């Protein structure tokens, strides 16, 4: 157990180092963006004196290094700062948006993870059959099609032609769980179609590789059925690669929602990020990007630990 704890501490330290490097990249990238926040807010008719006063008020007159250290120090202390455009605390701006994004990702995960595991097991169980080929064709098609195109197809089919679901995911703060699920179904289905294919193919590939190992051959010679070979003997030993790809896709469900949220005008972090970039609201952009990066790093850390815990041999160097 102490080996796993030591590994957790090392990976956590590496995650913080990675997050620090990412914060540098985010800040420098935003510094290189064209446009002037003061000019964006005050308009083209603003005088140079007004622009200079406004920049001093926002702290934009300070050197980039000073602004970066102030921003990073505040973030580490839980002070996310204020929006440059609205002046509101960023914590208030992102609290409801973060809940909406995590709700959408969780909704999609509840559908996609069990579906991917079932399809992967079925595809491995009946490999090289018409069912297996059909599942793989559908999976490759889902992987090859961009998210926005899948979203528009679903809008045309389920919102325009059959009018089953709304094309725009309008959510109110007092919406009930049933209403929230109903209005979130189309964006969740879009994400499900994208990530299910990746997880299904990894599940299928892992199971097929394990079925060629000697202990599976021995179980087969003892008369074990194909179903028992996969579910009882192969699937538990395929947890490590399957968990890894599931964790990566769960991270994508949160980090990669930007395009889907824009397509469905979903009030989440992705839509907030796009709106903030358009308005040159750099403090909100920095915070949103850093939250996305931290989420991705945490999911990768969790996948590593779960994979190693399920296969202790990975703790030791070869």
Domains of the chain: 2-76 (no CATH), 95-279 (1.10.3720.10)
Over the range 31-65, which residues count as b (16 or more CB within 10 Å of their CB) and which as e?
Answer: eeeeeebbeebeeeebeeeebeebbeebebeeeee
The answer, yes or no, to whether residue 165 has pLDDT greater than 80, is yes
Cα within 13 Å of Cα(238), Cβ side: 30
Three-state DSSP state, 256: coil
Question: DSSP strand E in the chain: where?
Answer: none
pLDDT attached to residue 313 = 62
Q: How confident is the model at residue 296 (pLDDT cuts 50, 70, 90)?
A: confident
pLDDT at 156: 92
Q: Residue 231: is its pLDDT beyond 80? A: no
Are 184 and 104 in contact, with CB atoms under 8 Å apart?
yes
- Residue 284: name the closest of 270, 273, 271 by CA: 273
Question: Is the per-residue pLDDT at 174 higher than 60?
Answer: yes
With CA atoms as reference, report the closest residue to 20 among 71, 84, 72, 92: 72
Q: What is the mean pLDDT of residues 288-300?
A: 86
Binned at pLDDT 50, 70 and 90, residue 314 comes out as low
pLDDT at 5: 78
Query: Residue 48 forms beta bridges with which residues?
Result: none
Longest dimension (CA), the chain: 87
How much of the chain, in percent, has pLDDT values that exceed 90? 5
In sequence order, the 6+-apart residues with CB closer than 8 A to the CB of 296 are 251, 254, 255
272-297: average pLDDT: 85
Q: What is the DSSP letter of 237?
A: G
Residues 6+ positions from 95 with CB-CB distance below 8 Å: none
Quick check: 318 pLDDT over 60?
no
> Is the separation of the CB atoms in 26 and 293 below 8 Å?
yes
Q: Which DSSP helix (H) or strand (E) runs through 289?
A: helix 282-310
Measured in whole angstroms, the distance separating CA 92 from the mean position of its chain's CA atoms is 22
* Residue 177: CB atoms within 10 Å: 8
89 has which bridge partners?
82
Residue 187 is predicted with a pLDDT of: 92
Query: Which stretch of 58-72, 115-129, 177-191 has the lowest confidence by average pLDDT?
Result: 58-72
Q: Are 88 and 168 in contact (CB under 8 A)?
A: no
In this prediction, residue 256 has a pLDDT band, given cuts at 50, 70 and 90, of: confident
What does DSSP assign to residue 127?
T
Using the structure block, give the residue that is written with the tokens 């193919």.
201
Write out pLDDT tens, residues 31-85.
777 766 777 667 777 777 877 887 787 777 788 888 888 888 888 887 888 887 7
Residue 317 scores a pLDDT above 70: no
CA 139 to chain centre: 19
28 contact partners, CB below 8 Å, separation of at least 6: none
Q: pLDDT category, 2, cuts 50, 70, 90?
A: low
């Amino acid at each position: 157990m102490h080996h796993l704890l030591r590994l957790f501490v090392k990976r956590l330290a590496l995650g913080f180092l990675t997050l620090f490097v990412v914060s540098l990249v985010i800040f420098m990238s935003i510094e290189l963006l064209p446009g002037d926040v003061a000019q964006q807010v005050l308009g083209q008719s603003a005088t140079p004196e007004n622009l200079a006063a406004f920049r001093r008020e926002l702290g934009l007159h300070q050197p980039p290094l000073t602004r970066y250290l102030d921003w990073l120090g505040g973030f580490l202390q839980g002070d996310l700062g204020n929006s440059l455009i609205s002046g509101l605390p960023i914590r208030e701006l992102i609290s409801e948006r973060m809940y909406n994004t995590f709700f959408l990702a969780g909704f999609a995960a509840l559908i996609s993870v069990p579906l991917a595991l079932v399809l992967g097991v079925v595809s491995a169980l009946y490999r090289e059959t018409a069912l297996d080929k059909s599942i793989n064709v559908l999976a490759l098609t889902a992987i090859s099609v961009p998210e926005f195109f899948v979203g528009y197809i679903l809008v045309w089919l389920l919102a325009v032609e059959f009018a089953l679901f709304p094309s725009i995911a309008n959510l109110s703060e007092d919406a009930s769980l049933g209403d929230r699920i109903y209005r979130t179904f189309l964006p969740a289905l879009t994400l499900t179609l994208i990530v299910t294919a990746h997880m299904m193919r990894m599940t299928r590939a892992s199971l097929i590789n394990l079925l060629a190992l000697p202990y599976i051959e021995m179980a087969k010679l003892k008369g074990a059925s194909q179903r028992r070979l996969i579910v009882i003997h192969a699937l538990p030993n395929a947890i490590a690669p399957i968990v890894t790809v599931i964790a990566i896709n769960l991270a994508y469900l949160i980090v990669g929602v930007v395009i889907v949220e824009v397509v469905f005008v979903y009030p989440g972090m992705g839509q907030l990020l796009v709106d903030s970039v358009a308005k040159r609201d750099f403090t909100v952009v920095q915070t949103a990007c850093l939250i996305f990066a931290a989420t991705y790093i945490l999911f990768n850390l969790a996948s590593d630990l779960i994979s190693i815990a399920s296969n202790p041999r990975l703790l030791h160097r070869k």
